[in-house]
Chains A and B, each alone.
Chain A
């Protein structure tokens, strides 16, 4: 143990050194050149900024506040997005140079960049949809799962938010538990556990298998005569309840805050008129929260696309250095998610109710 501690201290120091050095450099630069650094700022403030009208000051500060985000948007989002659109129409070498609308012959595992086979601009897209066996299937599955997931998670999180909003004993405790999966839910853990087989083996060895056999609800329901598809749908939902909970943390949060911002006088009026809690939910809570449903739906679609199997298919292509195909696939992926989003949001936006309280 002692040895370990010594190692830790050393590594702490070695980690700290570059930070400290950089800090010292920056501070030193400012101390040496404070005049040249601060003087123009001071000059600008006194000569130009202070003489502006308040509205103009606001405009200036607004652009100043937005500057880092806009810079990042252009550098790390807009530029890569445009580039990946270009990549999707071209063949890309592993070092990043690309040949627009020129596709080369493959010799062994390497491409021969002198032999042009095809100049078809849609070559990558055709590969992704026709040649690659996994991609179309997984795209379709992902889209389907996304629609189901979105519906389930949205409804589930709305109901939970309504329930969590009520006053009851131990509310703080229950809330603390319900947001725990947000902290817990880690891609790393799922990936690590997926790498090793036998989650079931652990469960079975601890004897829960007997329990599931004893009480097989699925067979029972089929025996009663409930349609098979309904049973599989329901059992699918119940078996993924942990998944559903762990992915609906943010959604519950958004709904909870939305419900809390509904004006209280509406509920008071409804209670005086004799409306029950059930009626209040349908007539007040749901319409008032409906703009947030839109937000939650968009967020859930994005989130469930991110976690889907399609990422794995694309990763294998990426690891084979087939960057052109990868770019084409990612654009198909964007289009699919935007399409689903467009349809759902288009339907929902007709029902959404905007309550304008601000005068």
Chain B
């Protein structure tokens, strides 16, 4: 650093000297010989720099510095290229989807249309809005994702704190048992879980007919609770609240690693100041954990939003409670039925009857619907993005 600064200073001095010198040389010869003195000046300058470079090359220290500089520059250029390429790979499909979405179906087989649509229309959006049952579906998705994200945050942050700071004998064993929920695939337990949720009850045993216990709800209400089926979104909240939401174990892991990284002196000083355990957690630890909380909230929300597996398994989506992801999956079969309704007669006259059988058309409608599904997430991401990345930078999730 020192050498570089010195060199810079030297260069600055040099330039200043030159600037001070040149006007004195140039001013008297303003009228006629304008080119020659500047030419000689350039010559002189180039010679000076040449000798400087040669002397630099002979100096091993300067050579090493130059080598490092060039290698750093090369690396940064290479990095720029890689980032540019990969960003292109990421962003290109999005642009393509947007371009396709605004294209009127007339343009589909038009070879001239490549990026900018010739007939600009919102027809695709209108059709997929109807097919997705968009506004109601959006509301359902928002409700489910938001509430279950809050539940996940509650359960996982508490568990993460307990595993990192409130250790007792055997708490590591419990931690690894809970990590098992991440490793065991959901397919393995989904079957028994659906049977269980179909007739939910606590403390019900039937151990090969030897020990038969009817269960809490059955003895109270006369029947088990049905937590599965159309509109029963409460099952997501229950599972999230009990730390069994979508990949909750990963979130517990992240919280644990973060809380482990916070210096223990902070906790001790809070204790000396008279704060209890809960108080320490609430007013000392949680405000520091803003970064992790943002990260976890983002992932929990996005995974819940994009989830098809659990919504399919619990059969929550239906006419009264449309979830966008399930609607999107069943969409390609419903396009032909919707298009043949009288409402779209004008459109069919314009484009031709066979449009519903055109795979390109189906593709475009699906693309548009996918874009509409993603749109709230993208908008949300633009707002949260800065906080999220800042959080990644500061949190030091790994302890």
Contacts and interface: CB of A to CB of B under 8 A. Distances in A.
B242 A257 contact: no
Q: Which of A70, A84, A193, A199 has the most CB of B within 10 A?
A: A84
A163 B187 CA distance: 37
Q: Which of A68, A100, A192, A198 has the most CB of B within 10 A?
A: A192
A277 interface: yes
Contacts of A341: 183
Interface stretch (A116-124, A128-136, A180-188): A180-188
Grouping DSSP codes into helix (H, G, I), strand (E, B) and loop, the B interface class, with mixed when no group exceeds half, is: helix
Nearest to B186: A306
B87 A79 contact: no
B381 interface: yes
Given A191-B329, A202-B360, A179 B242 contact: no
A75 interface: yes
A72 B370 contact: no
Nearest to B382: A176
Given A245-B86, A299-B250, A191 B308 contact: yes
Contacts of A187: 306-309, 325
A199 B139 CA distance: 30
A145 interface: no
A177 B90 contact: yes
A62 B360 contact: no
A73 B188 contact: no
Interface residues of B, number: 117
Contact of B332 (A62, A65, A196, A318): A196
A137 interface: no
B278 A257 contact: no
A93 B187 CA distance: 18
B217 to A, nearest CB: 13
Interface stretch (B44-52, B164-172, B337-345): B164-172
Contacts of A189: 328, 370, 373-374
B242 A207 contact: no
A63 B359 CA distance: 57
A213 interface: no
B192 A192 contact: no
B196 interface: yes
A68 B396 contact: no
Interface string A238-250: 0001100110001
Contacts of A69: 155-156, 158-159, 178, 242-243, 248, 252
A205 B113 CA distance: 9
A193 B185 contact: no
A84 B202 CA distance: 18
A195 B332 contact: yes
Contacts of B392: 175, 253, 256-257
Interface in A228-267: 241-242, 245-246, 250, 253-254, 256-258, 260-261
A59 B139 contact: no
A257 B396 contact: yes
A54 B271 contact: yes
A15 B143 contact: yes
B111 A292 contact: no
A178 B388 CA distance: 13
Interface stretch (A31-39, A147-155, A166-174, A346-354): A166-174
Interface string B134-175: 011001100100000000000110110111001110010010
A104 interface: no
Contacts of B398: 254, 257-258, 261, 292
B366 A192 contact: yes
Contact of A181 (B68, B83, B90, B192): B90
B82 interface: yes
Contacts of B182: 299, 302
A66 interface: yes
A83 interface: yes
B286 interface: no
Given A8-B135, A189-B373, A177 B188 contact: no
Nearest to B394: A260
A77 interface: yes
A103 interface: no
Contacts of A299: 182, 250
Interface in A79-101: 79-81, 83-84, 87, 92, 96, 100
A186 B325 CA distance: 9
A198 B359 contact: yes
B93 interface: yes
B12 interface: no
A65 B162 CA distance: 6
Given A62-B171, A65-B161, A192-B370, A334 B188 contact: yes
B191 interface: yes
15 contacts: A65-B159, A65-B161, A68-B155, A73-B242, A83-B195, A83-B196, A87-B192, A176-B385, A180-B381, A187-B325, A202-B364, A245-B89, A261-B261, A306-B186, A330-B187
Given A11-B139, A63-B162, A96-B199, 19 more contacts: A73-B181, A76-B189, A76-B244, A79-B196, A80-B196, A175-B392, A186-B370, A188-B328, A189-B373, A195-B329, A195-B332, A195-B366, A197-B359, A202-B100, A241-B89, A253-B397, A277-B75, A299-B250, A323-B191
The 10 closest A-B pairs by CB, nearest first: A72-B242, A69-B243, A62-B166, A80-B192, A83-B192, A188-B325, A96-B195, A330-B188, A198-B359, A65-B162
Interface of B: 68, 71-72, 75-76, 79-80, 82-83, 86-87, 89-91, 93-94, 96, 100, 108-109, 111, 114-115, 135-136, 139-140, 143, 155-156, 158-159, 161-163, 166-168, 171, 174, 177-178, 180-193, 195-196, 198-199, 202, 208, 239, 241-244, 248, 250, 252-253, 261, 271, 276-278, 295, 298-299, 302, 306-309, 324-326, 328-329, 331-333, 359-360, 362-364, 366-367, 369-370, 373-374, 377-378, 381, 385-386, 388-389, 392-393, 395-399
